[in-house]
Each structure stands twice: as structure tokens, then as C-alpha cells.
Structure 1
Amino acid sequence: MSGVTCRVAVGPEDLDACFGVRKEVFVAEQGVPEDIEYDEYDGGAVHVLAVRAEGGGALGTGRLLTGDAAVVKNGDPDVGVGALGRLAVLRSARGLGVGAALVAAIEGAARERGLHAVDLHAQTHALGFYERLGYVAYGAEFLDAGIPHRAMRKALR
């Protein structure tokens, strides 16, 4: 996608940008309580940040959990499965391919870490987005932060 760069967040400035996007999208826009938006997994997560290629302004973010954290989030004992989560794109950047670019970057980070699949918990309104990217829903619908979700998985090649 032209004009946007996705990269693994490094340093406090990048992390602040990631958390700022999440606050705008999940807390302010969707009404997720701030005390559950940020969790004990953030410290060990791989955070990915989408920024404008020129100017560097944050457009979106997402995170990848690996190892034991992913096992807990996925509910699957397979440590070779990562957990993609907290994918958020600012309203002004939606429809520009930022979300798909973030997912591709997170999948790349998963491959680099030797993972063979990625799970996620998708808000039900976003199922089609993830299906277009190769994810398959499984299990029953459930509520997370009062929002309907479905579990999804994609095998990495």
C-alpha cells in the first residue's frame, strides 16, 4: 500500500503511538473500559505500528502474542500458534488498506518467530475482512468487553 509503512514498534515513542491508536478506537469510539483495554500481555507482545510514509503519523496498530501468552489467549496448548489482537485503525485511515497491511506485518512477525498459525478473536462485524485475508471462523460467538466476537485461525505458509 502506497504511503503507509508497517513496522514492529521499537522504543517508548512507538509504543505510545500504538496505545494512542488503541485508546482512540477501542476506548473512545467503541466504549471499551480503559482498565481492560491495556493488559498484562502488552509488556511481552510484539506491537506493530502503521504510519504515514511521509510525516510518520500513526494510522493503526496491532499486536502479536507468542508462547505461553498466546496459549492462554487462544485456549490452545499449541505454542506454535500466535495470537493476533488489538488490531485498530483510526477512522480517518479506514478503507485505505491499513488493516490488511497490519495483518500482513503481524503474520510476517509470526513467521519470523517460527509460528505455523495465527488465531484471533474478531468482532463479528469484521468477520468478512478477516475471511478475505484467509482466516476461518470456528466455535460459537462470544462476548468480549460486551462486543460479539468469533474465534478465527489462519495457517501460515
Structure 2
Amino acid sequence: MVIAKKVETEKEYEDAIVIRRKVFVEEQDVPLHLELDEYDAEAIHFVAYDGDIPFGAGRIRSTEPAIGKVERVCILPEYRGKSLGNLMMECMEDYAFSNGFQKLKLNAQSHAIPFYEKRNYTITSPEFLEAGIPHRAMDKSLT
């Protein structure tokens, strides 16, 4: 069974970190000290599983009252193209809405902008580099 869920155990947190390392550090060459940052301690983490196999991760942190920032959303390469990014985002957005967030912000890698636009995120910035990768800021109202 394929599921996405809020991290509730140390093992689930470790699984999410393994996925982030594989995607961002190993695949995209993001330095480990940038990928695993000071916000991990305060963020709400999410992980996706295919049975017992973790394949996706993400986190949300509160940046302002009623505003959350979606970060570190990733899916292992062998699971991409199967709408599992949508499963991950639905889980995170449902959590945010249920917990009183009125808006979500994110910094999308430029190649992923069409994915987020299909989920009703709007571009709010010119392109910029983050960890050497082109990004654009986006946001979405949850109200």
C-alpha cells in the first residue's frame, strides 16, 4: 500500500532524512550542511511509503502566523512520474489546512514549477539560486 503521512516516530524521521539525502545530497549535489539545517528541529516532517519502503519526504514549518513554508519535498527517481508527488503534497496541504494555516509558501526548483502550478501555487518571485539550483518562490491560499 502506498501512503504519505506525518512523521510520528524516530524511524519515520530517519526514513525521511534518508530520502532527502539520496535526492538532494547524492542526486543534486546539495551540500549536506545546507540540506540538513537548523529548521529540521522545528519543522513538521512527512514521509511516503510503498509498503515498508520509504520513497518520499517533505516538511512544513511555520514562518509567520497562519503561514507555512513547504520545504524539502522529494520523491526517489524510480517513483517519479506516478503522481506520488501529488500524494505527498495532498498529505502536507491537508495537514496545513487542518492545523489553521491560511497560506503555504515554497521555493520551487524551476523545473518543478509546472507541478506546483497544477496544484494552484502562483509564482511570486523572479528566478534565484538556492544551493546553486534555480528556484522561484510560489504560494497558495488555503482559505
Counterpart-to-counterpart distance in 2, 1:88 and 1:125: 13
Instruction: Count the aligned residue pairs.
Output: 143
SS of residue in 2 equivalent to 1:15? helix
* 2:54 maps to 1:58: yes
* 2:35 maps to 1:37: yes
Question: Where do 4+ consecutive residues of structure 1 move more than 4 Å?
Answer: none
Q: C-alpha displacement at 1:23, in angstroms?
A: 0.2
Q: C-alpha displacement at 1:98, in angstroms?
A: 1.2
Match of 2:68 among 82, 97, 100: 82
Q: C-alpha displacement at 1:6, in angstroms?
A: 0.8
Q: C-alpha displacement at 1:56, in angstroms?
A: 1.6
Structure with the higher fraction of residues in helix conformation: 1
Q: Mark the runs of 5 or more structure 1 residues left unpaired by the alignment.
A: 72-78
Aligned partner of 1:136 in structure 2 is 122
Match of 1:17 among 8, 15, 34: 15
* 2:87 maps to 1:101: yes
SS of residue in 1 equivalent to 2:21? helix
Q: Mark the runs of 5 or more structure 2 residues left unpaired by the alignment.
A: none
SS of residue in 2 equivalent to 1:43? coil
Q: TM-score under structure 1 normalisation? A: 0.88
Identity %: 36
Query: What do you get for the CA RMSD once the two structures are aligned?
Result: 0.9
SS of residue in 2 equivalent to 1:143? strand
SS of residue in 1 equivalent to 2:18? helix
Contact 1:63–1:84, Cα closer than 8 Å, also in 2: yes
Q: C-alpha displacement at 1:81, in angstroms?
A: 1.1
Aligned partner of 1:26 in structure 2 is 24
